[in-house]
Amino acid sequence: MPIQVGSQRALLVRRRRHGPSAEIRVDALKAGHHGSIAGTSAQLVDRLDPPVAATSYGAGNPYGLPDEEVLAAHAPAESHGTSADGAMTMTLDGTALKVAAEPGSRSEGGAPP
């Protein structure tokens, strides 16, 4: 789901719908399906080249998520994950992107965040 505020754009991915040829510019990307390769392909992340990327996942989950290929594609983006950063709020105000984290709220174990 694309979100636009002024000249800023973010993309919230639930399931992969955009192929690697998608012509979209974003300021922030929320990876789909806990950072699985099926939810957000590395090709899509490379194509979008977001300055900020976020992934929602619990530490030590039995699925091995997020996928290393997806995380590697996030570099050199400012990367956030709920396992390390806790709950996050991304705010677009049309000129600046702000990321606020709540470290005490992070997920542990196999429970999905």
Which tops the pLDDT comparison, 24 or 86?
86
Contact predicate 66/45, CB 8 Å? no
DSSP per-residue letters across 60-106 = T-TT-PSPHHHHHHHTTSEEEEHHHH-EEEEEE-SS-EEEEEEGGG-
Which amino acid, one-letter code, is at 44?
L
Query: Distance of alpha carbon 25 from its chain centroid, rounded?
Result: 15
CA-CA distances (angstroms) from residue 42 to 15, 31, 59, 72? 13, 10, 21, 8
Q: What is the pTM of this model?
A: 0.69
pLDDT in tens, 22-74: 567 788 888 888 888 888 888 888 888 888 889 899 888 999 999 888 888 88
Task: Give pLDDT, residue 63.
Answer: 92
pLDDT at 112: 41
Domain ranges of the chain: 2-105
pLDDT of residue 13: 66
